[in-house]
Structure formats: structure tokens, C-alpha cells
Amino acid sequence: MTEPPFDVAIVLGAMLLPDGSPSPALERRVLRAVRLVREGRADHLLMSGGPVAHPLAEAAAMRDLAVAHGVDPGRVMVEDASSNTIGNARLSAPIVAAQGWTRLAIVTCQSHLPRALYVFRRFGLKAVGVAAMPARTPGVEWWLAWGREALALPWTVVRVEAALWRA
């Protein structure tokens, strides 16, 4: 058997529903990562996301979903303290280093990938993006997601560069 192309797929969190279950966006991200494991393209999963709008950490719900879809729990790690993309990168970095992982994939929504890859790379994590499967047809949700990212990118650049300048 050949070695998988990714040591780890880092799956970025998204909103949980009021009952603590994954939102459709979060479910798409996790199921895309599960597919990477099943296809032998990722050896481990690192679920990244803390308790943001719900008391349950997004990473815990993500881990449970991946395990429910057949991923060995020993292949799933969690980073359960971050509250945004910058936190995902900052708090995943020490886990990645401790595990010795060098081949990284970032799994998130297609609209979020450019910003997420910028953040992870600026924090020293050279990664490849893997887009979660989009909703069936581009609708209002799709347009809102791309619009949000267009507005979020400049603010993220300012925050990341300020954090790196202070470090």
C-alpha cells in the first residue's frame, strides 16, 4: 500500500444547530474529510473548532460525525478551543508539529478556502485546500458565503499581519 498524500486533513469548524447537531455546511466538511480517509488520501483527521455559538465544541460534534461514518477514533484528533479561522491555524499548529505531520490538507467550504489557506500558510502551515462539496445548486446561501468571504478577507489580513508583527 502506498503512503497517503496527506498526513492529516484539518477540518475547519462551522456552526452547530441549536440541538448541537452539525449544520449542513459542517456536515459537508466532515463528510468530505471522511471520504479522504476512506479513499486512502488522508491518514488522520484533525477537527478544529471550539464552542462558538453553542456550548458544545464544534470539533467534538465533528469527531462524533466522522466516527459515526466509520473513521477509526484513533485517527481523529480534536482542537476544541478556537473560535475563528485564525484560531484554527494558531491552535492546530502545535498539534501538527507534535505529530510530525508535514503533508496537510485544509477541508472547508469552497468560498472559505482562499482565506483559510492564507491564514494557515502565514502561520507556517503549508497546506493544500480541499473543498467540501457545495450545496446542490448555487443559491442565496452560496452568494452570501462568497460575499461574506470578500468582506472578511481584508479584516483577516490586518489581524493576521498584526499578530505576526507583534510576535
Say if 1 falls within a structural domain: no
pLDDT exceeds 90 at position 104: yes
Its domain, for residue 112, covers: 6-166
Say if 83 falls within a structural domain: yes
Res 79: pLDDT? 98
- Please give the full DSSP string across the chain, using - where no structure is assigned: -PPPSEEEEEEEP-PBPTTSPBPHHHHHHHHHHHHHHHTTSEEEEEEE---SSSSS-HHHHHHHHHHHTT--GGGEEEE----SHHHHHHHHHHHHHHHT--SEEEEE-TTTHHHHHHHHHHTT--EEEEEPPPPSS--HHHHHHHHHHHHHHHHHHHHHHHHHHH-
Res 136: pLDDT? 59
Question: What is the pTM (predicted TM-score) of this model?
Answer: 0.90
Residue 13 — very low, low, confident or very high, per pLDDT cuts 50/70/90? very high
Number of domains comprising the chain:
1
